[in-house]
Structure 1
Amino acid sequence: MKYKQLEVIIRRVDPYHPDYNYFVEQYALATAGIAGENEVFYFLQELAIPHRILRNFCTVDAASHKHEIDFVIILSSLIICLEVKNMTGQLDFDVEASQLLRTRSDSIIERFPNPIEQLTRHTRFLSSLFPHVPIIGAVVIANRRAIIGSRSPHTPIFHSDYIYSFIEKSLKQHAEPTLDIDVFYEQLIALQSLPIKPFSFTLAHLKSGVFCSKCTSKMHFIQGKFVCLNCHHQDKFAYFQALHDFRLLVDSKITNKEFCTLCGISSRYATIRLLKFLPIIKQGRHTYYEIPEQISTMVQEESPDSPMN
């Protein structure tokens, strides 16, 4: 959710917004995080033994504290939680001070929150729910150029290419099958909660217009279709992306007037035709159109029910 929102923020929020530079930094960090998770997932695909994997598992404990675990690996004899970090430089894990120190190539030292503490919180929580299940954790460094310096003697910390060996070693220590993998997977899925939107905006915060998927220029609505005057790309359904952006940052429902402002269309009658395929919600004197979650991936086919016909 956070990454998807940040992606839209970079596209839609005005660069003069007071927090825009912060959003750019967060987007860069989130992009690096996903790249690191992809690196880890690449090595997890080597697992030939029965297993299930939950990626970006999000849940809430009894005290309403949120737990976001990068990977939960369910095996027949144990559960493994992985906390992934995609960082360069020399990484020193200071357990007593609860910090991660990174020494960059220019010798500048930076402090980060200790991922070991994050991991401990997650494994402790899962152990409280499933006290008879062996649950272990590890911190995985996804960047191959990083150097792992001082570390905790109690928490495994290693590069992503060691994952398979780590799992093999863990299975030797926990060899007795105690889990029905599919049943436990369903139990965890039942605990999963949808992440709350980290950021919220109003329509006034967003840049108006429908943007070209080819060159990102603002498109013009001409004779029932969106036309890019820069690269000449034409797309009847380019406004789907605008609805997707609005849903992620503002609300899951939109009025005719809001849609006109969002897409830069002056005719409310044209918007009625564009939005006629969306479910209508009546709230008092107001009429809203419900934006489906899958709006950006909906099949764009011309049919008798298409918004342009």
Structure 2
Amino acid sequence: MRLHQLEAIVRRVSEVHPDYLYFKEQLVMVNAGISGEDEVQFFLQELVMPHRVIRNLSFLNTQQQRHEIDFVIIFASLILCFEVKNVAGTLHFDTDASQFLRTRADVTERFPNPVEQLNRHLRVISSFFPNIPIHGAVVIANRRAIIASKPLDFPIFHADYVLSFIEKNLVQYAEPLLDINEVYNDLMMLHSPKKESFTFTLKQLKRGIFCEKCMAKMHFVHGKFLCPSCRFQNKYAYFQALHDFRLLVDTKITNQQFCELCELTSRHVAKRLLQFFPVFYKGGYSYYEIPEQIFTIIHD
């Protein structure tokens, strides 16, 4: 949800909005995080022994503090947790000062210490399964990153070492102690993704239908949306505008709001375009419900 909302914000919210640059930076960070996790997922696909993987486990502990764990891998003999960092540059881990430093182009930056982040997660997972070996590692997903210094007592490595790390742990902890599926279900019962939403008004959104190929404004011509720049045409290009509206403003829209959003001059054309969506009446107004899975709707 957060990724899709940020994408919609960058696409629809005006660049003069006071928080636009913040949202754009957040989108870059979220995409980098997903790319890093994809890199780890690539190697995990090679696991042949019985296991279950939970990606992005998110839950509240008994003190109502949130835990977000990038990967939890459940085996019959142990549980492993990975904290993934997708950062470039030369990396220094200083556990004594609780610092994670990245140097790039002669600029040094401090980031939250992933070792402490992961230790916090390991403590709470251990409290759920006190008799099960539970270990973790910080995984650097960026292939160009250089790990210059790290603690001797905590595993930090590149993503291509993930399988070797798992194999070493499975050799050390070989005795079956748990039911993989039972532990998976117990953890998934805890899973409650953080609900963070950004709300805007229609007036704060850019108007028009944007070409998915070149982002130029499209024109509605003979029942289709046509891009005057690259000549791409799409009968259902307005679905993206409705999707963005649903994420940023409301799950329902009026004919007038739709005309404003898509820069349509005819309410009759708007009504034809909205005919695929459920309509209901409230307070003397007609509203069209925008489905969450709008892109799965196909009409020929």
Same structural fold, with TM-score higher than 0.5 when normalized by the shorter chain: yes
Rounded to whole Å, the distance in 2 between the matches of 1:122 and 1:64 is 14
Bigger shift: 203-212 or 268-277?
A: 268-277
Asked if 2 retains the 8 angstrom alpha-carbon contact of 1:237 and 1:300, the reply is no
Secondary structure class of the residue paired with 1:247: helix
Q: Does 1:99 align with 2:99?
A: yes
Written as runs of structure 1 = structure 2, the 5 A alignment for 1:71-150 is 71-104=71-104, 106-150=105-149
Tell me the residue number matched to 2:18: 18
Aligned to 1:41: 41
CA distance in 2 between partners of 1:17 and 1:45 (Å): 42
Give how far 1:55 is off: 1.5
In the other structure, the counterpart of 1:247 is: 246
Unpaired runs of 5+ residues, structure 2, are none
TM alignment of 1:45-84, pairs within 5 A: 45-84=45-84
**Residue identity opposite 1:53 in structure 2:** V
| Structure 1 CA distance for aligned equivalents of residues 135 and 285 of structure 2 | 53
Secondary structure (helix, strand or coil) at the match of 1:149 reads strand
Match of 1:176 in 2: 175
Alignment of 1:220-235 (within 5 A): 220-235=219-234
Superposition TM-score, scaled by structure 1 size = 0.89
Q: Which residue of structure 2 aligns with residue 27 of structure 1? A: 27
- How many angstroms apart in 2 are the aligned matches of 1:61 and 1:290? 36
Q: Residue 277 of structure 1: CA displacement?
A: 2.3
> Structure 1 residues 290, 77: closer, same or farther in 2, change over 3 A?
farther
Q: Are the structure 2 counterparts of residues 154 and 284 from structure 1 closer, same or farther at C-alpha, using a change threshold of 3 Å?
A: farther
Q: Which residue of 2 aligns with 1:307?
A: none
Is the contact made by 1:209 and 1:219 (CA closer than 8 Å) also made in structure 2? yes
Q: Which amino acid aligns with 1:86?
A: N
Post-superposition shift, 1:290?
A: 2.3
Tell me what 2:198 maps to: 199
Structure 2: distance between partners of 1:6 and 1:219: 22
Q: Is the 8 A contact 1:217 1:228 kept in 2?
A: yes
2:182 maps to 1:190: no
Q: Which amino acid aligns with 1:64?
A: Q
Question: What RMSD over aligned residues (CA atoms) do the two structures have, in Å?
Answer: 2.0
Q: Count residues with an aligned counterpart.
A: 300
What is the alpha-carbon distance in structure 2 between the residues aligned to residue 180 and residue 24 of structure 1?
A: 43
Cα shift at 1:84: 0.6
Partner AA of 1:201 in structure 2 = F
TM norm structure 2: 0.92
Residues 67, 223 of structure 1: alpha-carbon distance in 2 compared, 3 angstrom cutoff: same
Distance 1:258 1:123, change over 3 A: farther
Deviation by residue 1:218-266 (Cα, 9 ceiling, x = unmatched): 1122333222222222221111111111122222222322222221123
- Say which is worse superposed, 133-142 or 57-66, in terms of deviation: 57-66
For residue 180 of structure 1, report the CA deviation from its aligned partner: 1.9
After superposition, the Cα gap between the structure-2 partners of 1:280 and 1:124, relative to the gap in structure 1 and judged at 3 Å, is: farther
SS for the counterpart of 1:194 is coil
Q: Which aligned pairs between 1:274-293 and structure 2 lie closer than 5 A?
A: 274-293=273-292
- The 2-side partners of 1:157 and 1:136 are apart by 12
In the TM superposition, what is the alpha-carbon distance from 1:129 to its structure 2 partner? 2.6
Could you tell me which runs of 5 or more consecutive residues in structure 1 were left unpaired when the two chains were aligned.
Answer: 303-309
Give % identity.
58
1:126 is paired with a residue of what secondary structure? helix
Deviations 1:249-292 (A, max 9, x none): 22222232222222112322322222232233444444432222
